[in-house]
Amino acid sequence: MSLNSLKFEENNSEFVETKQSQTTSVASEDPLQNLCLASQDVLQKAQQSGRSKCRKCGGSRMFYCYTCYVPVENVPVEQIPLVKLPLKIDIIKHPNETDGKSTAIHAKLLAPEFVNIYTYPCIPEYEEKDHEVVLVFPGPQSVSIKDISFHLQKRIQDNIRGKNDDPDKPSVKRKKTEELEDCDLIDSKCKDTTLKKIIFIDSTWNQTNKILTDERLQGLLQVELKTRKTCFWRHQKGKPDTFLSTIEAIYYFLVDYHTDILKEKYKGQYDNLLFFYSFMYQLIKNAKCSGDKETKKLIH
């Protein structure tokens, strides 16, 4: 091999490494760049024309009304994507959470048939459905998404066995046929075990304790997204970057659920949940770079 060939390979290798490094750097700077999104031209036009009236309450808003959960007049409804979700979602909002700063509204706008928002203390009862509902929130007892099925099945087994334990009856050995019937019942229930609903708390991290300790949420299986990092522009001081905004948590949960539970390849099915979020992220990022305070005011 000639000296020139060696130099070419060496230079080419350096070029590839530099290119890969640049690509990685860009991806880390803009984690939302590779999403499969519907056209955001409608948001671009709305941003340029400024605030508009809500179709329902008449309030002056940007992009959408965070009270009525509808796009404003200068954002045609038919140009807003609708996302089909594999699960129902309940969002429990803290009463002191500022509606205009909440990303939970995005989920209701983009998946209205699958998302319900409740303002605490008005929340549903989940006691009889603890085998098909999980609460997404970090904590010492939280499990990963891939372990959800195991823990929900265990709850069914414990519930069935608990109902069959009658404290008023003397302790006698069960007949073999009865034991087999119990096993068959547990097996059939476990086969039908499917996660049907996920619960998210929409609140600042310092306000979550009041909702989290509510007796109606006690005993629910808690799930934590440990590997995802936030790019929310309102990052709270003193909190790790794995503490996500509400819409980020919903999106990343569904992506991981799709691959870890449904065992299907993810092809961007839920990316449009970040339709508003990614646009606002880019707006604020650009405004920070240019020092444009007016743009930042518009979306607050």
Average pLDDT, stretch 280-286? Answer: 88
Specify the higher pLDDT residue, 161 or 7. 161
- The pLDDT value recorded for residue 230 is 83
Q: Is residue 113 part of a domain?
A: yes
Q: Is 240 helix (H, G, I), strand (E, B) or coil?
A: coil
Average pLDDT, stretch 121-141? Answer: 92
Average pLDDT value over all residues in the chain: 81
For residue 202, give both structure tokens. Answer: 């929409």
Task: Extract the runs of DSSP E, i.e. beta strands, from 33-110.
Answer: 52-53, 60-61, 64-65, 70-71, 88-93
Q: Is residue 42 part of a domain?
A: no
- The pLDDT value recorded for residue 238 is 59
Q: Is residue 220 part of a domain?
A: yes
Q: Is residue 292 part of a domain?
A: no
- The pLDDT value recorded for residue 160 is 73
pLDDT tops 80 at residue 232: no
Structural domain including 90 reads: 83-164+177-269
pLDDT band for 17, please (50, 70, 90 cuts). Answer: very low
pLDDT tops 80 at residue 198: yes
Q: Is residue 62 part of a domain?
A: no
Composition of the chain by helix, strand, coil, percent to 5: 45, 10, 45
pLDDT tops 80 at residue 144: yes
pLDDT tops 90 at residue 124: yes
For residue 264, give both structure tokens. Answer: 């299907």
**Where are the alpha helices (H) located in 114-245, listed in sequence order?**
148-164, 176-191, 208-212
Task: Write the CB contacts of 243 (distance below 8 Å, at least 6 apart in sequence).
Answer: 138, 205, 230, 236
pLDDT band for 3, please (50, 70, 90 cuts). Answer: very low
pLDDT tops 90 at residue 228: no
pLDDT tops 70 at residue 134: yes
- Show the CA angle centred on residue 227, arms to residues 102 and 217, nearest 5°: 55
- pLDDT above 70: percentage of residues in the chain: 72
Worst-scoring range by mean pLDDT, 8-12, 214-218, 245-249?
8-12
Q: How many domains does the chain have?
A: 1
d(CA 253, CA 274): 13
Give pTM, 2 decimals.
Answer: 0.79
pLDDT tops 90 at residue 69: yes
- The pLDDT value recorded for residue 142 is 94
pLDDT tops 80 at residue 84: yes
Q: Is residue 2 part of a domain?
A: no
Q: What's the Cα-to-Cα distance from 212 to each of 44, 199, 202, rounded to whole Å?
A: 38, 11, 11
Q: Is residue 158 part of a domain?
A: yes
Q: Is residue 274 part of a domain?
A: no
Say if residues 221 and 198 touch (Cβ distance below 8 Å).
no
Say if residues 34 and 26 touch (Cβ distance below 8 Å).
no
